[in-house]
Amino acid sequence: MNWKRLLATVDLWVMVCLASFLSAGFPAFVVAGLCRIAFKLGDNEAILAIGLPLFIVLFSIFIRGLPEPLRRANMVMTTDPSTFGPWFGSNDES
pTM, two decimals, is: 0.70
Residue 91 lies inside a defined structural domain of this protein: no
Query: Using one digit for the tens of pLDDT, what is the confidence trace for 25-67?
Result: 999 999 999 999 999 999 999 999 999 999 999 999 998 888 8
Query: Using one digit for the tens of pLDDT, what is the confidence trace for 5-20?
Result: 788 788 888 888 999 9
Residue 85 lies inside a defined structural domain of this protein: no
94 confidence band (pLDDT: 50, 70, 90): very low
Closest CA to 9 of 94, 88, 92: 88
Residue 55 lies inside a defined structural domain of this protein: yes
Residue 92 lies inside a defined structural domain of this protein: no
pLDDT of residue 79: 60
Full domain range(s) for residue 55: 3-76
Domain count, the chain: 1
The secondary structure of the chain in percent helix, strand, coil, rounded to multiples of 5, reads 80, 0, 20
Residue 62 and residue 26: Cα distance in Å, rounded? Answer: 13
Residue 62 lies inside a defined structural domain of this protein: yes
Residue 57 lies inside a defined structural domain of this protein: yes
Residue 36 lies inside a defined structural domain of this protein: yes
* CA 35 to mean position of chain CA atoms: 25
